[in-house]
Chain A
Amino acid sequence: MAVNIVKEKWTSKVGEVVLGTENTVTMGGESTLPFLHFEGAIPHRPVMALEVWDMEPAEWPEPVKEPFAGVMSDPVAWAKKNVEYGADIIALRLQSANPDFEDTTPEKCAETAKAVAEAVNVPLIILGCGAEEKDAEILPVVGEALSGKNCLIGPATENNYKTLTATCLVHGHSIIASSPLDINLAKQLNILITEMNLPADKIVIDPLVGALGYGIEYCYSIMERSRLGALMGDKMLSMPIFCNVGQEAWKAKEAKAEDMPEWGEQKKRAVLWEVITSSAMAQSGGSLFILRHPESVKQLKVHFDKLMQSNEY
């Protein structure tokens, strides 16, 4: 008996965002739900970035420090290492600028970012220090220093989006529009940013994801609803979704606990926490994954490559 394959007729698609200048990386563009090649186009594999910090991250668990032995105090060397490890993009986090850490000046941040940008030939994501006000001070200066490099900059929140959007407009970058786990807030921020004339293809949505076991079900459904909205023509939900997985996954007890034989070997379990948080989010519509461990990048590449193979009937 020939089964009639059910194909939904979506009216729209996810917008595409391009990062970088020479070796560009493109994400988005899907005209169906994740990896349903039988129904629509899935033009790009999900993209993976590895994080680099501008200071040595004291609280990272051992298994995720080990691959970076000797480079963690040197952002340039660390970034190069990440490229060797197969990252599509480098995500430079200017953590030291946080007033609770070193309160690094905007000029110093710009210097670091420039050095990293010159050392690698992949696109850059510039992540702030986690303090909204300080981010509004450093990111414009960094954005100017990287003018024309088509980076992705953020996170922009409802409190600092104006400054960040202006920087992106002037210097040709894209923006990470960040709102806490709420589809309407996400939409509202996208509207505010596009009203400042930054085009939709310069925005990615950051729903502030939680890790596996720590609220992943909320972002899973929000991402799924965003994707459905995009496919049904809601332009303010059509941006690719940014998933900052590394910082959440490596905070999980399951990734950090050393002495838990009943949970299996720590390194394997920890890498799996990052991989499975990402694989589940890819199923609900994530396009860009910020990761910490090179093994996660390697494994997810294999997984996503397999999912990028056709399943047409």
Chain B
Amino acid sequence: MGLTGLAIFKQLPKTNCKECGHPTCLAFAMALASGKASLDSCPHVSDEAKEALDSASAPPIASLKIGTGDNELTVGGETVLFRHEKRFENMTGIAICVSDNEDVAAKVDDINKLFFDRVGQTHNVNLVAVKNDSADAGKFAEAVKAAHDKSNFPLILITEDPAAAEKALEVCASGKPLLYGATSDNYEAMTELAKKNEVVLGVRGNDLNSLADLVEKIQELGYKQLVIDSGSREVNKVLADQTQMRRQALRKFRPFGYPTLTVVENDDPIQAVADASVYISKYSGIVVYPSADPAEILPLVTLRLNIYTDPQKPIAVESKVHEVGTPDENSPVFITTNFSLSYFCVEGDVEAGRISGYILPVDTDGISVLTGWAAGKFTPEKITDMLKETGMADKVNHNTIIIPGGVAVLSGKLEELSGWKVMVGPRESTGIPSFMKQRWNA
């Protein structure tokens, strides 16, 4: 990334041996530059050249995996400062913290319930963070074991005591936890443990400078599976540090080229959620959160979903019959598209009008009403198909459907094809309540 084909070509052996599958070294260099080939396919490249090219082509922020199996979490791999520039890649991992001084099993039970359904998709927290508050290595290992046995989520081991870390890793290293962490006092022992157990190591500094120092020392020990924390805990400072770390990483300042970790420490639960909302919005790879109260977690999981939505790919809702209120055979049938925003607008405004009804979001690959119509994806044929497939004729005893005002032009063809009577609704969904009062009930 960032290197031109010619810059890469200079580092290659220039023998044109063809062993990489490309006709010339220059062609291979071009393929490398566009990400279509890997340097591994060149058998003759020198080690020096390899290192130079590897570090130049490495992504600005490493992408790492924590845990195993279905709940394995990928963090990092980010490439931009603002989501509109491209997208944020890997959703912030949300970790719920449990102290080894409390009833671990009970809290893990609560954490295991933090799954939320949102328009056909499940969203959940990602990690259980066990914290060594007791300062007792044996007690910590027991707590870690309890969490490891009871939860499928990967663990974060929060301890700065290498002895406690070692004991805890004995019971859970197979689950590939995040070991958090290394500080300037213990980094050699912690790095050793992380290497031996092949787990990601969390590194905590006291500020940006000490963090950069510490990361360099650990890199010199030959370990690069790192997650970094500047040590700030107040929201105003965390915001500044997160912004700096992301900016510096994108400018290829290597000590900050890792996913970040933030810790929410706020005694007021509402403030804690507000702090976490800042960390999710501003670059945090992992947020360690103190509570498992679903009222606090639901807004955070939702915000994370929104912020990490790919701006180039609209979110779609499931194309099926959605019921609002308690509709019966007399209830109205609204047609819209499965672009989530179109659907939510219609749903919200049908609800606001205290109307019970059916909403049919036609599958337009998640694009909006007018765009869908213009792109030939919101057509009389598609609407007719959906009416048939969902058996709407059996659900209601009338034969009227309401279409968005913006696509009034579909009416004629749609009536002809579907046999339903088409009523043209308002152009904006906010007009639905008054439209219904004036037209449907009349």
Contact = CB atoms under 8 A, between A and B. Distances in A.
A262 B296 contact: no
B296 A272 contact: yes
Contacts of A308: 236
Contacts of A272: 270, 273, 295-296, 298-299
A214 to B, nearest CB: 5
Interface stretch (A20-28, A145-153, A217-225): A217-225
Contact of B212 (A3, A59, A98, A268): A3
B395 interface: no
Interface in A177-225: 210, 212-218, 220-221, 224-225
A204 B396 CA distance: 46
A69 interface: no
Interface residues of B, number: 61
A59 B303 CA distance: 25
B251 to A, nearest CB: 7
Given A262-B113, A272-B295, A276-B274, A213 B240 contact: no
Given A280-B277, A310-B236, A100 B83 contact: no
B84 A221 contact: yes
B273 A1 contact: no
Interface string B268-286: 1111011101100110000
A213 B302 contact: yes
Contact of A3 (B209, B236, B278, B305): B209
Interface of A: 1-3, 5-6, 33, 35-38, 59, 98-100, 130, 210, 212-218, 220-221, 224-225, 228, 251-252, 254, 262-265, 268-269, 271-273, 275-276, 279-280, 283-284, 295, 299-300, 302-303, 306-311, 313
Q: Which 9 A-B pairs have the closest CB atoms?
A: A264-B295, A311-B240, A264-B294, A269-B295, A100-B434, A217-B306, A221-B84, A276-B299, A213-B302
Interface in B288-341: 293-300, 302-303, 305-307, 309, 311, 340-341
Contacts of B274: 275-276, 279, 299-300, 303
A252 B306 CA distance: 15
A276 B209 CA distance: 32
A2 B100 CA distance: 36
B80 to A, nearest CB: 12
Contacts of A36: 239-240, 243
Contacts of A59: 352, 354
B351 interface: yes
Given A221-B311, A280-B281, A251 B351 contact: yes
Contacts of B268: 302
A218 B113 contact: no
B306 A6 contact: no
A210 B298 CA distance: 17
Given A263-B294, A276-B300, A302-B271, 12 more contacts: A6-B247, A6-B248, A59-B352, A59-B354, A215-B340, A224-B84, A251-B352, A269-B298, A279-B277, A283-B278, A283-B282, A311-B236
B440 interface: no
B44 interface: no
Contacts of A100: 433-434, 437
B234 interface: yes
B72 interface: no
Contact of B240 (A1, A264, A265, A313): A313
Contact of B83 (A37, A38, A98, A221): A221
A225 B85 CA distance: 10
Given A3-B209, A262-B113, A268 B295 contact: yes
B341 A210 contact: yes
A214 B344 contact: yes
Given A213-B118, A272-B299, A306-B236, A251 B306 contact: no
Residue of B83, B216, B298 most packed against chain A (CB within 10 A): B298
B376 interface: no
Nearest to B232: A311
Contacts of A268: 269-270, 293, 295-296
Nearest to A131: B434
B428 to A, nearest CB: 8
B235 A303 contact: yes
A228 B307 CA distance: 18
Contacts of A98: 434
A216 B306 contact: yes
Contacts of A224: 82-84
B244 interface: yes
Given A1-B213, A214-B344, A214-B348, A263 B295 contact: yes
A289 to B, nearest CB: 13
A212 B281 contact: no
Nearest to B230: A3
B424 interface: no
Contacts of B300: 276
Contacts of A220: 83, 281, 306-307
A183 B247 CA distance: 25
A37 B298 CA distance: 30
Contacts of A213: 118, 302, 305-306
Contacts of B18: none
A44 to B, nearest CB: 15
Contacts of B216: 1
A295 B273 CA distance: 14
A228 B240 CA distance: 17
Interface string B222-259: 00000000000011110110011001100101010000
A38 B351 CA distance: 45
Interface in B387-433: 430, 433
Contacts of B277: 276, 279-280, 283
A264 B296 contact: yes
B39 interface: no
B208 interface: yes
Contacts of B302: 212-213, 254
Nearest to B295: A264
B209 A273 contact: no
A130 B428 CA distance: 12
B209 A1 contact: yes
Contacts of B278: 279, 283, 307
Nearest to A300: B274
Residue of A214, A217, A273 most packed against chain B (CB within 10 A): A217
